[in-house]
Amino acid sequence: MSNLIEIKLNADQTEGTKATVAQWLKKVGEPVVKDEPLIELETDKVMMEVIAPADGVLTEIRVREGEAAEENIILGTISEAAVSNHTNEIHKAEETPNQNISSDLPRKNPTAGQPDPPSTFISPAVRRLSQKHNLDLTAITGTGKNNRITSRDVHAFLQNKPTFVNQVIEHTEAGSEIIPHTQMRKIIAEHMQHSVQTAPHVTSVFDLDLSAIIRHRKANKESFASQGIKLTFTAYFVAAAVQAIKHQPKVNSQFHEHGLEIFKHVNMGFGTALGDDGLIVPVIHQAQNMSLLEIAKELTRLTENARNNQLTQKEVQGGTFTISNHGVSGSLVATPIIINQPQSAILGLGKMEKRVVVEEHNGQDMMVIKPMCYVSLTIDHRALDAYQTNDFLSFFKQTIEHWKA
């Protein structure tokens, strides 16, 4: 009797993130091996793989490419008995070599029972893309399990080719074009719209003097670099935000209808732009237990993974507070910065620039040049009020402007 195994997602894989089936790597009737990549899922954050839960033959696909893959929904089924039947037919054919063997049956080889080596396994979708664009797949770095090339890797490669022009849908009106949305862009749009519709956004803006952290960074940058760690301004902002959260814990929270959930841990997300591909938010977990060195090290690692499309699902999940360092692209103020739901607040840092400010020296007002930037906190007004907002920003400002090693 055939034993059907259900293919499902678990909570650890999704953690509430909306996922879509990008492609099935096997067809119905094909044999699969336990732990072999079976499905590619795409979210607004990363590309995930669903592996086969058992040896067998894929007997049914219930959630097709482009459809939503939700937690505990049956994506398809595998028959354990079917693989035994295939094996018996192969053995029988081998014992009678003069008999014609169906080309549909898998051939026995020295590595029978094992998946194709990652370097040689090419999914049908990837193969179609490579043929369509005449690509040499050896030139593409894979980010799937065991460095297998995914369809997203191919699209990223095409977007980085100087001679490649994005495919467009021509509009009926001359002089315009429609560029189809990627799945990531669709999900980002949905997430942003949901956040604005869910939470009343209010933003407070402070001025920030960066002189103290610039001096500290200048004195310590080389020693960090000798350990392979980039000491960026973002590392200081993360460390100062952790201290400000310890001072005003309600900022690190989630609003529920029955009450405000305040987190004891600080999982700090930081927005990382991926060019035209969108935005991703890697998460520094348990940042409240880290030194500046440890924060900078984790920032370096996660930023490199994000830019190389190598983030795991865990590295973009579980955030409790987010920083948007939008100043790196030249922005002075961005408001409101949309809250990363279901969090209660998001911190924004603008471009650093030298400005003339007035200071009092020996009873006299003097104009001095300072490296300044604007810092903002956008809050969910259901969860927080002006008091908590400005209390947080005041402490954050004091921490940065009186930085101590």
Which of 37-51, 89-103, 355-369 shows the lowest per-residue confidence on average (mean pLDDT)? 89-103
Question: Which amino acid would we find at residue 42?
Answer: E
Strands 364-380 and 345-349: antiparallel
Between CA 265 and CA 250 the distance in angstroms is 12
pLDDT tens digits along 102-124: 333 333 343 444 444 444 567 65
- The pLDDT mean for the chain works out to 83
Establish whether domains 4-115 and 184-401 are of one fold.
no
Determine contact, residues 191/341, Cβ cutoff 8 Å.
yes
Between CA 393 and CA 376 the distance in angstroms is 8
Whether the per-residue pLDDT at 371 is higher than 80: the answer is yes
pLDDT tens digits along 258-287: 999 999 999 999 998 877 777 889 999 999
Higher pLDDT, 161 or 258: 258
pLDDT tens digits along 59-90: 999 998 888 888 778 899 999 876 555 545 44
Query: Active-site positions?
Result: 381, 385
- pLDDT in the model for residue 164: 36
Which of 240-249, 270-279, 318-327 shows the lowest per-residue confidence on average (mean pLDDT)? 270-279
Whether the per-residue pLDDT at 167 is higher than 70: the answer is no
Whether the per-residue pLDDT at 354 is higher than 60: the answer is yes
Determine contact, residues 120/145, Cβ cutoff 8 Å.
no
Q: How many helices (H) and strands (E) does the chain have?
A: 9, 21
Between CA 40 and CA 332 the distance in angstroms is 39
Determine contact, residues 119/147, Cβ cutoff 8 Å.
yes
- pLDDT in the model for residue 171: 52
Q: What is the CATH number of domain 4-115?
A: 2.40.50.100
Whether the per-residue pLDDT at 14 is higher than 70: the answer is no
Between CA 33 and CA 116 the distance in angstroms is 10
Task: Convert 122-136 to b/e letters by CB count within 10 Å (16 or more is b).
Answer: ebebbeebbeeeebe
The predicted model scores a pTM of 0.67
Q: What is the CATH number of domain 184-401?
A: 3.30.559.10
Question: Locate tokens 């732009």: which residue?
Answer: 273
Q: Domain spans of the chain?
A: 4-115, 184-401
Spatial neighbors of 330 by CB under 8 A, at least 6 apart, are 351
